[in-house]
Every structure is written in structure tokens, then in C-alpha cells.
């Protein structure tokens, strides 16, 4: 019942444009705001060039990885510092990925975001 109520609250916040996550500790729920987004283009990837844009509220170390759809890590695209504000990572993949769907995960101090990309040559 409590999980149901928390999901309703999260949906209400999302309806107002506030993207949140929640965790449960015993009977208490903690909501925290997810206020960064990731944009990946071109999507679908037609050559080995990829641009990843994202905003950070604070300076933090970031890590960008590519996974296949079953969760196997294929490649680490970037690991290093990210600055406050807009960030852009231009990457050239060192090898051609097979055609299909992949997940790109951005991990920062603010949280983790994952986006789906397609590869079509």
C-alpha cells in the first residue's frame, strides 16, 4: 500500500514536470529530484561518431558507458571531470557496433541516466 501511495505522489510530481525518484526506508519515503537530462545524437547512429549533451548542477566526475540490451558492458566512452552547466562529449567509437539497440549510461554525482540508441549502418 505504501509503495502505491509513493508511486501516486511521484506521478503527481511528474505531471507537474518534476522528475523524481524515491527510495523507501522502513515506513519513510525519501523523494529526490532528478533534474538533469541527456541528449544523444545522431540517433540512430549511422557512422561511428556520437555526441552526448547533458547539464550538470555541480562539477563532478562522470562516466559514460555503452551496454547491449542484456546488460553487458561493451565500451567505456568517457571517464573524467564534468563542469557545471552544459557539457558535450564528442566521441568516435573505436570499432563498429553491430546493428541493433544499445543503452548509453551517464553516471554523475547527481545520479544515473540511461538512454536507448539504435545503430543502423
The predicted structure's pLDDT at residue 97: 85
Q: Where are the domains of the chain?
A: 2-33, 38-119
**pLDDT for the residue numbered 105:** 92
CB–CB of 65/76 below 8 Å? Answer: yes
Is pLDDT at 72 greater than 60 in this prediction?
Answer: yes
> For residue 5, is pLDDT > 60?
yes
Average pLDDT, integer, range 81-98: 87
Does residue 26 register a pLDDT over 50?
A: no
Phi, psi (degrees; rounded to nearest 5) at 41: -150, 155
Which pTM value belongs to this model? 0.67
Q: Indicate if the pLDDT at residue 14 is higher than 90.
A: no
pLDDT tens per residue, range 33-56: 555 678 999 989 888 889 999 988
Give yes or no for a contact between 19 and 34, defined as CB atoms under 8 angstroms apart. yes
Q: What is the mean pLDDT of residues 88-105?
A: 88
Per 3-state DSSP, the chain is made up of helix, strand and coil in percentages (nearest 5) of: 10, 60, 30
CATH topology assigned to domain 38-119: Immunoglobulin-like (2.60.40)
Amino acid at each position: 500500500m505504501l509503495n502505491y501511495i509513493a508511486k501516486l505522489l511521484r506521478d503527481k510530481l511528474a505531471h507537474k514536470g518534476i522528475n523524481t525518484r524515491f527510495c523507501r526506508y522502513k515506513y519513510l519515503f525519501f523523494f529526490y529530484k532528478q533534474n538533469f537530462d541527456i541528449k544523444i545524437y545522431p540517433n540512430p547512429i549511422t557512422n561511428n561518431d556520437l555526441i552526448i549533451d547533458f547539464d550538470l548542477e555541480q562539477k563532478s566526475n562522470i562516466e559514460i558507458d555503452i551496454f547491449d540490451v542484456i546488460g553487458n558492458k561493451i565500451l567505456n566512452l568517457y571517464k573524467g571531470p564534468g563542469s557545471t552547466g552544459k557539457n558535450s562529449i564528442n566521441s568516435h567509437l573505436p570499432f563498429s557496433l553491430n546493428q541493433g539497440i544499445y543503452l548509453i549510461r551517464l553516471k554523475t554525482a547527481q545520479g544515473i541516466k540511461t538512454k536507448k540508441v539504435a545503430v543502423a549502418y
